[in-house]
Amino acid sequence: MEADFVILSLTPILIGCFAAMACALPGNFLMLRRQAMLGDAISHVVLPGIVVAFLFTGSASTWAMMLGAGAAAMVSVLLIEGIRRLAGVEPGAAMGVTFTTMFALGVLLLEGSGAGAVHLDVEHALYGNLESLIWLDATGWESLVDPVALAGLPPELGRMAAVFALIAIAGFIFWRPLELATFDEGFARALGLPVQAISLGLVAAAAMACVAAFTAVGSILTIAMLICPPAAARLLTDRLPLQVALSLGLALLSAVGGYVLAGYGPMWFGLPNSLSAAGMIATLSGLCLALAAAFGPHRRAA
Amino acid sequence: MSGPPRPDALSLRGLSVHYGVLPVLEQVEAHFAPGRMTAIIGPNGAGKSTLLKAALGLVPVAAGEVRFFGQPLAAARARIAYVPQRASVDWDFPVRAVDVVQMGLYRSLGLLGRRTAAHRAKAMECLERVGMQDYALRQIGALSGGQQQRVFLARALAQGAELFLLDEPFAGVDAATESAIVSVLQGLRDGGATVVAVHHDLSTVPAYFDRVLLLNRTAIAEGPVATAFTREALGRTYGGTLPMDPELAAQ
**pLDDT tens digits for range A33-51:** 888 777 777 777 877 888 8
Cα(B6)–Cα(B17) distance, rounded to whole angstroms? 28
Interface test with A, best of B90, B149, B159 (most A CBs within 10 A): B90
**Positive or negative torsion for Cα B235, B237, B242, B243:** negative
Torsion from C-alpha of A205, A210, A213, A218, nearest 10 degrees? 170
Contact between residue B181 and residue B173 where contact means Cβ atoms under 8 Å apart:
yes
Is pLDDT at A301 greater than 80 in this prediction?
Answer: no
- Pick from A100, A82, A92, A113: which is nearest to A43 by CA? A100
CB contact under 8 A, A183 and B95: yes
Reported as a pLDDT band with limits 50, 70 and 90, residue A272 is confident
**A141 interfaces chain B, CB cutoff of 8 Å:** no
In-domain check, residue B243: no
What distance in Å separates residue B59's CA from the closest CA in chain A?
Answer: 10
Percent of chain A whose pLDDT exceeds 70: 93
Residues of A within 8 A of B88 (CB-CB) are 184-186
E strand residue ranges, chain B: 10-19, 22-32, 37-41, 63-68, 80-83, 163-166, 194-198, 211-216, 218-224
Mean of pLDDT over chain A: 85
In-domain check, residue B86: yes
Residues 6 or more apart whose Cβ sits within 8 Å of residue B155: A187, B83, B100, B101, B103, B104, B126
Name residue A8's amino acid: L
Nearest to A183 among B56, B74, B89 (CB): B89
One DSSP character per residue, B59-123 reads S--SEEEEEETTB-HHHHGGGEEEE--GGGS-TTSS-BHHHHHHHTTHHHHTTTPPP-HHHHHHH
pLDDT in tens, A66-84: 788 878 887 887 888 788 8
Total Cβ atoms within 10 A of residue B251: 11
Count of pairs with CB atoms under 8 A, one residue in A, one in B: 71
In-domain check, residue B249: no
Cα(A200)–Cα(A277) distance, rounded to whole angstroms? 32
Cα(B13)–Cα(B67) distance, rounded to whole angstroms? 9
A300: phi then psi, degrees, rounded to nearest 5? -80, 145
In-domain check, residue A252: yes
Q: In the predicted model, what is the mean pLDDT of residues B41-53? A: 93
In-domain check, residue A278: yes
CB contact under 8 A, A183 and B103: yes
**A142 interfaces chain B, CB cutoff of 8 Å:** no
Cα(B30)–Cα(B11) distance, rounded to whole angstroms? 6
B205: domain CATH number is 3.40.50.300
The total number of structural domains in chain B stands at 1
**A297 interfaces chain B, CB cutoff of 8 Å:** no
Is pLDDT at B250 greater than 50 in this prediction?
Answer: no
**A200 interfaces chain B, CB cutoff of 8 Å:** no
Nearest to B84 among A176, A182, A187 (CB): A187
Contact between residue B57 and residue A192 where contact means Cβ atoms under 8 Å apart:
no
Residues of B within 8 A of A174 (CB-CB) are 111
**A5 interfaces chain B, CB cutoff of 8 Å:** no
Question: pTM higher than 0.80 for the full model?
Answer: yes
Is pLDDT at B8 greater than 80 in this prediction?
Answer: yes
Residues of A within 8 A of B84 (CB-CB) are 184, 186-187, 190
In-domain check, residue A266: yes
In-domain check, residue A274: yes
Nearest to B111 among A176, A186, A238 (CB): A176
The total number of structural domains in chain A stands at 1
Q: What is the rounded radius of gyration, in angstroms, for the C-alpha atoms of chain A?
A: 20
Chain B residues whose C-beta sits inside 8 Å of any chain A C-beta? 53, 56-58, 74, 77, 80, 82, 84, 88-90, 92-96, 99-100, 103, 106-107, 109, 111-112, 139, 155
Cα(A161)–Cα(A154) distance, rounded to whole angstroms? 12
Nearest to B90 among A176, A183, A239 (CB): A183
Residue B218 CA, chain-centre distance (Å), reads: 19
Reported as a pLDDT band with limits 50, 70 and 90, residue B64 is very high
What distance in Å separates residue A144's CA from the closest CA in chain B?
Answer: 35
In-domain check, residue B90: yes
Residues of A within 8 A of B99 (CB-CB) are 239-240
**A198 interfaces chain B, CB cutoff of 8 Å:** no
CB contact under 8 A, B139 and A298: yes
Reported as a pLDDT band with limits 50, 70 and 90, residue A120 is low
Is pLDDT at A259 greater than 50 in this prediction?
Answer: yes
A237: phi then psi, degrees, rounded to nearest 5? -150, 160
In-domain check, residue A6: yes
The domain in which residue A208 lies consists of 2-115+129-134+142-295
Sheet holding B63-68, edge to edge: B22-32, B10-19, B63-68
A287: domain CATH number is 1.10.3470.10
The whole-number pLDDT of residue B157 equals 96
Contact between residue A51 and residue A113 where contact means Cβ atoms under 8 Å apart:
yes
In-domain check, residue A255: yes
The domain in which residue B31 lies consists of 10-238
Helix (H, G, I), strand (E, B) or coil at B234: helix
The whole-number pLDDT of residue B251 equals 47
DSSP state of A131: G
pLDDT in tens, A168-211: 999 999 999 999 999 998 899 999 999 988 988 898 888 888 88
Contact between residue A47 and residue A106 where contact means Cβ atoms under 8 Å apart:
yes
Total Cβ atoms within 10 A of residue A102: 21
In-domain check, residue A300: no
The whole-number pLDDT of residue A119 equals 58
Mean of pLDDT over chain B: 89
Count Cβ neighbours within 10 Å for each residue of A191-204 and write b for 16 or more, e otherwise. Answer: bbbebeebbebbbb
pLDDT in tens, B149-203: 999 999 999 999 999 999 999 988 999 999 999 999 999 999 999 999 999 899 9
Q: What is the rounded radius of gyration, in angstroms, for the C-alpha atoms of chain B?
A: 18
- Pick from B135, B145, B130: which is nearest to B98 by CA? B135
Residues of B within 8 A of A185 (CB-CB) are 88
Is pLDDT at A260 greater than 80 in this prediction?
Answer: yes
Reported as a pLDDT band with limits 50, 70 and 90, residue A250 is very high
- Cα–Cα separations (whole angstroms), residue A231 to A42, A292, B93: 18, 9, 12
Is pLDDT at B243 greater than 70 in this prediction?
Answer: no
In-domain check, residue B250: no
In-domain check, residue B130: yes
